Amino acid sequence: MGWAKITHWLGLTLLVGIGAIALLSVADSASANRRVTQELLQKMRTETQRQKAVEDLKSAAAKLVNLLAQGKFGEVTKSFDPTMQKALPSEKLKATWADVLEEAGPFKRQIGSKTSKEDQYDVVVVNCEFEKARLDIRVVYNSNKKVAGLFIVSPSQATDTYKPPSYVNREAFQEKAVTIGSAPSAVPGILTLPRGEGPFPAVVLVQGSGPHDRDETIGPNKPFRDLAWGLASQGVAVLRYDKRTRVHPGQFSGKFTVKEEVTDDAIAAIALLQQTPSINPDQIFLLGHSLGGMLAPRIAQQEPSLAGIIILAGNTRPFEDLYIAQSEYLAKLDDQITPREKQAIATFKQQAERIKDRDLRKEPDTELLLGVPPAYWLDLKDYKQTEVAKELKRPILILQGERDYQVTLDDFRGWQKALSDRKNVTFKTYSNLNHLFMPGEGKATPQEYQVANHVDAVVITDIAEWVKQSALQSYGNP
């Protein structure tokens, strides 16, 4: 349709609209028509520009992924902003990509992409298929269209194929969307509430390392949704939320610690529950998994109102030691260590030594050690989780899967050694469960995370019963 015809159509519409009581003169009508036409044209130009900007970003991200797949890491880093160029030079990027291929298998193809706006950053998520898994490559662009962040994570399913385990009763609870914290760092979450009058005991879920979503999605598995729906089916409310590193990745391109990554949002989540009428404010617990489990005592120390903490696969060994142990375990799974794997492990050990070095404070903020800045490690150096846990008077439940290769029985024994004389600390291990507290057989591998499974029913029941029993005893505990 030509613009003259559009103008005529608009004029006809206007005249029909005013009908027999038209008060505009012919000149006024023509002027109004021109204004409407100009507004329409401007809207169309704006939408066209917006669509072009989106397509340009998608194209740039697709090109970046293609360059990664082709091994042209120097070309990839040309698109980085100065901070990223220092933090992830081509050799480090090459090693990181090699680790991805080692776990996920050879790159096969790009499946699709989507864009979003996060603060002042544009984010493109490129869905990719590897031989052994599907992964999302999240490319964060600053206002100058330079790459300010690059993340390779488990995919967020556009089509949710989750099938609830048998212990979930969907009629027993309801869910409502909530917001944790405030701008510019607010994150979305979901409160899962048992049906009934309440007030109910409640649990805040805190994820492990990485930019996790609220379900702690790994492959097709959603352990935090299992926990939330399973506990709510037994009368315990649960609050879970997306990690700040997932929602606001641009805020983590420089100096940061676990305070910004984990603890601030956990404390904000507890505060939200305290203000929720259907929740008993004296019966709020915190459940931390992996990194979240390690930090649970620190969060409880900072939030005296907590009725107790639950530690799922929380480490007691230093994180840098875990990193090396995990790398060596994975390298030995096929009963041989390749030269490239030996070199990678040697590099990890060198970085671990730098983390332990008393001169760590002299390292520049842009120097990433095992993926995070020196400030992150300096903060953890001053934190002794077992010592902090000793000082807590509140009940603690510590659970561990015996097939877990990421956080092992060595860590569990660390908690036992520190807290075995405490009558209100409960310890339990599960012979056939992995890091996600899902059942399996034989040696645990990363590949089993790509097979649909669920948190074991016994774990759900153990947590629910412990929460209810502890809630009755929690009043007045400091």
Which are the catalytic amino acids? 290, 404, 435
User: Smallest Cα–Cα separation from 465: which of 285, 342, 263, 293?
Assistant: 285
Instruction: Report the alpha-carbon distance of residue 138 to residue 149 in Å, rounded.
Output: 8
Residue 428 bridge partners (DSSP)? 399
Please give the DSSP secondary-structure letter assigned to residue 383.
Answer: -
What letter represents residue 214's amino acid? Answer: R
Distances (CA, A) of 105 to 94, 196, 340: 15, 48, 15
Distances (CA, A) of 248 to 39, 130, 252: 35, 26, 8
Instruction: Report the alpha-carbon distance of residue 21 to residue 421 in Å, rounded.
Output: 90
Q: Which residue has the tokens 């081509």?
A: 90
Instruction: Report the alpha-carbon distance of residue 438 to residue 454 in Å, rounded.
Output: 6
Strand arrangement, sheet containing 200-206 = 173-180, 187-194, 237-241, 200-206, 279-289, 308-312, 396-401, 425-430
User: Smallest Cα–Cα separation from 316: which of 287, 286, 296?
Assistant: 296
Instruction: Report the alpha-carbon distance of residue 240 to residue 228 in Å, rounded.
Output: 8
Phi, psi of 373 (to 5 degrees): -75, 165
Instruction: Report the alpha-carbon distance of residue 213 to residue 219 in Å, rounded.
Output: 12
Please give the DSSP secondary-structure letter assigned to residue 407.
Answer: S
Is residue 195 within 8 A of residue 172, CB to CB? The reply is yes
* Dihedral sign for Cα atoms in the order 397, 401, 407, 411: positive
Is residue 242 within 8 A of residue 190, CB to CB? The reply is no
Exposure of 48 by Cβ count < 10 A (0-12 exposed, 13-18 middle, 19+ buried)?
exposed
193-208 per-residue burial string, b: 16 or more CB within 10 A, e: under 16: bbeeebebbbbbbbbb
Instruction: Kindly report the number of other CB atoms within 10 A of residue 168's CB atom.
Output: 21
User: Cis peptide leading into 155, omega within 30 of 0?
Assistant: no
Residue 136 bridge partners (DSSP)? 127, 153
